[in-house]
Structure 1
Amino acid sequence: MIDALTRHELLNWLNQIIGYSEMLIEEADGSGQENLIGDLGKITCAAQQMLVQLQTPLTCSPSCHSAINTNDSHKQTASPDQVAHHFNPVDTECNGRGSLLVVDDNPANQEILSRRLENQGYQIAMAGSGVEALEKLTSNRFDLVLLDVMMPDMGGYEVLQRMKADTVLRNIPVIMISACSDMGQVILCIEAGAEDYLPKPFNSTLLKARISATLEKKRLCEQERRYASQAMQTEAALERHRALTQAVAGVAHEINTPLGIVKTGLSIIRNRLSLPNIQALFRENSETEALLQDMLESSGLTIKNVDIAHRLIENFKKIAVDQLLEHQDTVDLPALLKDTVDLFKISARQARLDIRLDASGILKAREWHGYPGYLTQIMMNFLQNIERYAYPNGIGGQVDIAVSDRVLPAKAPQFVLTVRDYGAGINPEHIGKIFDPFFTTGRGKGGTGLGLAIVNNMVTVAMQGAVSVESEPGFGTCFTLCFPKNLT
């Protein structure tokens, strides 16, 4: 009866014999030394026969025997020719690349495994003990750890426990390296969070498949975490937007109160100045008569501009409330677009933008039943992007906004809205990403990468439409929105 420690050592030696023989077969086949392949195959075959004898039920624990019966590579012994054919040079263009840490206290095992993985295109680092492995893990970035179960001082199970207890290391996948007699430890490691295990000696096909599968699973998990993080950030940004919109609506209401008082006071003054007895007092000489005329004109002009300010604030308040309540309404589309452009007038003047609105393409009804607040937000995002990216640093330029209607076969009537600039344009490599959340080339210009992502979501989901973009560097950009005249 062979004890567990002796069996472990024998398996390590067999792993080295088989591993080195297989690598020599690969090198001989790739260097034109085919005459060596037959003899090397015999060595490998003999080692595998010894492996089968070592792993018979008479010398293995029940758990070990179960593992052997589920491993096809150990059920029968291959011929030398089959061995030589099976271990052709590994395709270095394998799926994916990554940085792997190989942890094994046996230098020969380290070398065999590392050389195989380097041939597959991976970057390899090695550690000869559990302590060294933890030191390297804390100071370097690895995509996967291949961890031997049985090591002196600190075994693989303890290393795994410490990794899973660490908030940084816990997400690094671990594949246990095990001799058959270590099966009980392997089960403990799997229960503790290891992804998989590889038996010694290493089967090159199994090695490649399990590492590729583990790295792919890691990639998908990281992608899922990124998407979850992006969703949380987007929701937080939308919540801030709702809070700001609510505050704007409140401020607009408060501003209207003093504007109303100003208008009332000016109207009283103007009415008093228009009374015949008051006007008679000012007509005593030419100077006082001119003063009366100036006061009448000034008060009239002030009242007119107060009315304009009141109307703008009311529009701003309505837009804010519409956005806050996600309110559907029937509106005159060109009028809504004009109000939006008016809201942007101050920024447009500072950025020297010449914004032109053309609604002559609407041949039928101008009314749109939808979300006015959403469309206003979309237009504001477009105009802000044009100010920031198309004509940066106040260089100024023309912006053409055009709206038309169309009827397509078997489809409801639609509006087509285009926003075109003639500025810097978009780099072709960025076109496919501009609607992605958090993609921006303007972090230093105040860009968050959310503006066009929100636009895309509003158009496709809320407005049941579509948005597209065409651009050429140096010649400008055109965004096109198509959406139904009446939302269902």
Structure 2
Amino acid sequence: MQTFLQNQYEATILIVDDTPANLEVLATMLKARGYQIRIAPSGRLALQFVARTQPDLILLDISMPDMDGYEVCRRLKEHETWRSIPVIFISALNNTQGKLRSFAAGGVDYITKPFHCAEVEARVETHIKLNLYQRYLEVMIEKKACELAQAQEKVARAEKISIVGVMSAGIAHEINQPLNAIKLISSNLVLSHAEGRKRDISEYVDNMKEISRQADRIKDSIEHLRAFIRNDRKHLHSLNLNAVIGNVLRIVGKQLNSHGIRITLSLQKDLADIWATTTGLETVLINLLINSMHALGTLEPSDRSITVKTYMNRDIILEVMDNGPGIASELRTRIFEPFVSAQNSADNLGLGLAIANNIISSYKGRIELVSGAESRTVFRVIFPVGKEA
């Protein structure tokens, strides 16, 4: 910080006045203090100078022909790049109305003629330092914002990896069944050949067809995981919500069952399609299901239950309800904020619901905590209908 402020003695000051004597007095005075001085005898020349090189401070005379100081200051403040340059007005008038008008125009201070060297030097030094402090703080804020964004990105990636882990485990279960089928068919063929049993060619064809079908199931599961990792959130398309729910439960249902959780489905038939992405919807639903799974950890396995429900009014509604202990009242209004979690565990980053909220918002929908106390938690996701939403 000290190194940064030492630059005050190299600061550039633009003095704008149509009176040569005033220019000379101020220039001589401030050069002696180590400032770089530039002069402009009119408002138009001052604006031309600022367009080429931005000074650190402007001393601006109010009473000038053609364009007065108020107009010059107004134009400076209208320009996005120039508006941060501090302007100290200079005037022979020492009245309250003139000072108020100067501050209203965007000036930071007011100096009256004839000049008092000590006063001018003190005011200039003060505003040079304030300007440098402001610039320093802006740099530090930008730096800290970048560091925070990088930290949040790392945590978000960790959350994504966690979800991918859930998907991978589910798909591993899903792949086992077709692999076992392929192994059984192949073993029977090898055994038949070893025992010298003759088989009709059509039987061999049927066995090869079944092996091919089971291999396609494995390929589809792997492609599903690849698509999830690639993240297709930017490519919205028409989707059936019930079909996505069925697909997610096919993948992660075994994990939920392994925790003793009963899944109850209440899905309205003939739902209109929603405009979304498969990856995004699966991310939202997996987050809600995993949150419920964690919440149910305190209950006996025989008591654990999750209900997934869809229905339609003007919108399409998805509800995920569990019979866990609920969410503490102090967390309910903040539950969709980043790093807020109802679960106290080292591996819970508190980003799942924040990510789900962002995804649903990108579909122009919304997600709500309908209830969160007295042994029940219900999350409601509301989707607009169709592509036009």
Q: Check 1:430–1:244 CA distance in 2 against 1; reply closer, same or farther (3 A cut).
A: closer
- Whole-angstrom CA distance in 2 between matches of 1:252 and 1:399: 18
Partner of 1:47: none
CA RMSD of aligned residues (A): 5.2
Structure 1 residue 481, shift from structure 2 partner? 0.9
TM-score by length of 1: 0.43
**Cα pair 1:326 1:373 within 8 Å, conserved:** no
1:151-202 Cα shifts (integer Å, max 9, x gaps): xxxxxxxxxxxxxxxxxxxxxxxxxxxxx96552342132123799xxxxxx
The 5-angstrom pairing of residues 70-469 of structure 1 reads 184-193=121-130, 230-238=148-156, 264=182, 266-273=184-191, 278=196, 312-321=221-230, 323-324=231-232, 326-359=234-267, 361-362=268-269, 364-365=270-271, 367-392=273-298, 397-407=304-314, 414-442=315-343, 444-461=345-362, 463-469=363-369
Identity, in percent, stands at 18
- Whole-angstrom CA distance in 2 between matches of 1:431 and 1:399: 20
Structure 1 position 479 matched with structure 2 position 385 = no
**Cα pair 2:166 2:252 within 8 Å, conserved:** no
- Whole-angstrom CA distance in 1 between matches of 2:175 and 2:325: 43
Gaps of 5+ in 1: 1-62, 75-179, 197-213, 281-301, 408-413
Structure 1 residue 352, shift from structure 2 partner? 2.6
Structure 1 residue 470, shift from structure 2 partner? 1.9
Larger Rg: 1
Q: Check 1:352–1:187 CA distance in 2 against 1; reply closer, same or farther (3 A cut).
A: farther
Structure 1 residue 451, shift from structure 2 partner? 1.3
1:227-254 Cα shifts (integer Å, max 9, x gaps): 7665444444445667888999999999
Structure 1 residue 337, shift from structure 2 partner? 0.5
Q: Check 1:224–1:424 CA distance in 2 against 1; reply closer, same or farther (3 A cut).
A: farther
Q: Secondary structure at the match of 1:400?
A: strand
Partner of 1:88: none
Structure 1 residue 356, shift from structure 2 partner? 1.7
- Whole-angstrom CA distance in 2 between matches of 1:181 and 1:487: 70
**Cα pair 1:316 1:343 within 8 Å, conserved:** no
TM-score by length of 2: 0.52
Structure 1 residue 428, shift from structure 2 partner? 2.1
Partner of 1:118: none
**Cα pair 2:241 2:273 within 8 Å, conserved:** yes
Gaps of 5+ in 2: 1-87, 100-116, 199-210
**Cα pair 1:334 1:366 within 8 Å, conserved:** no
**Cα pair 1:266 1:303 within 8 Å, conserved:** no
1:283-341 Cα shifts (integer Å, max 9, x gaps): xxxxxxxxxxxxxxxxxxx99998876665454444444x2564434444323202212
Residue identity in the other structure for 1:383: L
Count of residues in correspondence between the two structures: 270
Residue identity in the other structure for 1:389: A
Structure 1 residue 387, shift from structure 2 partner? 2.2
Which structure ranks higher in relative contact order (CA pairs < 8 Å, sequence separation ≥ 6)?
2
Residue identity in the other structure for 1:335: A
Q: Check 1:367–1:472 CA distance in 2 against 1; reply closer, same or farther (3 A cut).
A: closer
Q: Secondary structure at the match of 2:293?
A: helix
Q: Check 1:444–1:238 CA distance in 2 against 1; reply closer, same or farther (3 A cut).
A: closer
